[in-house]
Structure 1
């Protein structure tokens, strides 16, 4: 008999709980935070390729050009710690004519990344890359060395903004802000800072003229942003 009585009581408890959740007064806000800082680092992505009759010849060609470029970076006091040149790809190339596939040689490709803490060196590094026949200036990115600090600052601003909005809305409607009920948060992806996709610069004959004025590259400021959605209990005085 006791089990028979417990079952209706359980259903009554669940029904009351669902009713309370339906009548619960909530206020939801979206907080936004943004921090804008100047760029202090330039990251240059380069590539070099060569097609030769043998894979060994193609590899030797790109290796010689990369080594010459690295030697030039040393004369500019750019540390090897700020250079990544660890990969190489070699694969056969074919030409297709009249439905025939003819072997044309092996292509070797190396990719490099140079990180410049002194951004005034950017133009000179690109000129040296072209002079050493690293024809692929693939991308230039700008970053700030204190990125984690700025991301955290934007995050705290977003939290503060969500609270301020919720408190202002509650006050405007003659209510008070209760405890947090729900937080929805997905961290924003840090900005890539890409400012140049220079596939059109892959021209072997490009050279810097000694009488030409050097190019000037002025990076935009970098903006780190974050947002958060929060739901609070809304307390209404009787």
Structure 2
């Protein structure tokens, strides 16, 4: 066995499309080896959120539309600041102004007004305050809720933990395979690590079956934030 080429390819189905074919690997590595892939997945309870709301108003003139949208944004920001939300947790977008026309057959388009819109993204670091901040946005004229993304403040910490868990998984697989084939695992020849995609936040969902008379917070479904990582390792066989 030691004089022959031993190539063991281990991969989770989730990542199989990202791997090179075994025959390609064998052509590049001409010594006995074991290759494993370590994978990990950690789920966290969200403890913060990014709330994106928007005001869209229609007025006869461009200035009136701009003034109305600016007023709603200014009032909402003032309310957030008064509630103790730090300025670096508030991001406001620039004005989007569009003319509105009525199109009739055999007639030139008729300008009827302007729509002005602006967005604000608020980082809510305490989920218990999410509903209150959302209510205040609507009360101050923000009439569209575009997105509520649930996140974890411990993301960086658990990204590192997920990486170490993937490393341990790759090592355990290699040791198990070597033992199963009656071989001695040698030193690491190569480590391949690919930057993972950013952790995807969980979108907040309404629970249609919630009791209206119950707590407001229970009418929302808080999903879990998932952190995944992987590492590929090639071990020599002694």
Q: What TM-score do the two structures reach when normalised by structure 2?
A: 0.76
- Alignment of 1:185 onto 2:188: no
Encode CA deviations 1:16-35: one digit per residue, 9 max, x unaligned: xxx99675222111101222
> Does structure 1 retain, via aligned residues, the 8 Å contact 2:58–2:115?
yes
Q: Which residue is equivalent to 1:164?
A: 172
What is the distance in 1 between the residues matched to 2:202 and 2:105?
Answer: 42
Range moving further from structure 2, 222-231 or 188-197: 188-197
After the TM superposition, list the runs of 4 or more consecutive aligned residues in structure 1 that deviate by more than 6 angstroms: 19-22
Would the alpha carbon gap of residues 67 and 20 (structure 1) be closer, same or farther in structure 2, given more than 3 Å must change?
closer
What is the distance in 2 between the residues matched to 1:157 and 1:215?
Answer: 37
Q: Which residue is equivalent to 1:230?
A: 233
Would the alpha carbon gap of residues 38 and 91 (structure 1) be closer, same or farther in structure 2, given more than 3 Å must change?
same
What is the distance in 2 between the residues matched to 1:119 and 1:170?
Answer: 48
173, 176, 180: which is aligned to 2:184?
A: 176
- Alignment of 1:221 onto 2:224: yes
Q: Where do residues 92-103 of structure 1 align in structure 2 (5 Å cutoff)? A: 92-98=99-105, 101-103=109-111
Encode CA deviations 1:33-75: one digit per residue, 9 max, x unaligned: 2223222211101111112232211110001111222232234
Would the alpha carbon gap of residues 212 and 125 (structure 1) be closer, same or farther in structure 2, given more than 3 Å must change?
farther
Q: Which residue is equivalent to 1:77?
A: 84
Would the alpha carbon gap of residues 186 and 95 (structure 1) be closer, same or farther in structure 2, given more than 3 Å must change?
farther
Range moving further from structure 2, 101-110 or 41-50: 101-110
What secondary structure does 1:39 align onto? coil
Alignment root-mean-square deviation, CA: 2.6
Range moving further from structure 2, 122-131 or 76-85: 76-85
Q: Which residue is equivalent to 2:66?
A: 59
43, 52, 68: which is aligned to 2:75?
A: 68
What secondary structure does 1:87 align onto? coil
- Alignment of 1:46 onto 2:46: no
> Does structure 2 retain, via aligned residues, the 8 Å contact 1:139–1:197?
no
Stretches of structure 2 lacking an aligned partner (at least 5 in a row): 1-25, 207-211
Q: Which residue is equivalent to 2:13?
A: none
Would the alpha carbon gap of residues 22 and 42 (structure 1) be closer, same or farther in structure 2, given more than 3 Å must change?
closer
- Alignment of 1:107 onto 2:120: no
Q: How far off is 1:212 after superposition?
A: 6.7
What secondary structure does 2:95 align onto? strand
Q: Where do residues 137-156 of structure 1 align in structure 2 (5 Å cutoff)? A: 137-156=145-164
Q: What TM-score do the two structures reach when normalised by structure 1?
A: 0.76
> Does structure 2 retain, via aligned residues, the 8 Å contact 1:139–1:194?
no
Give the structure with higher Rg (CA): 1
Q: How far off is 1:164 after superposition?
A: 1.0
Would the alpha carbon gap of residues 67 and 183 (structure 1) be closer, same or farther in structure 2, given more than 3 Å must change?
same
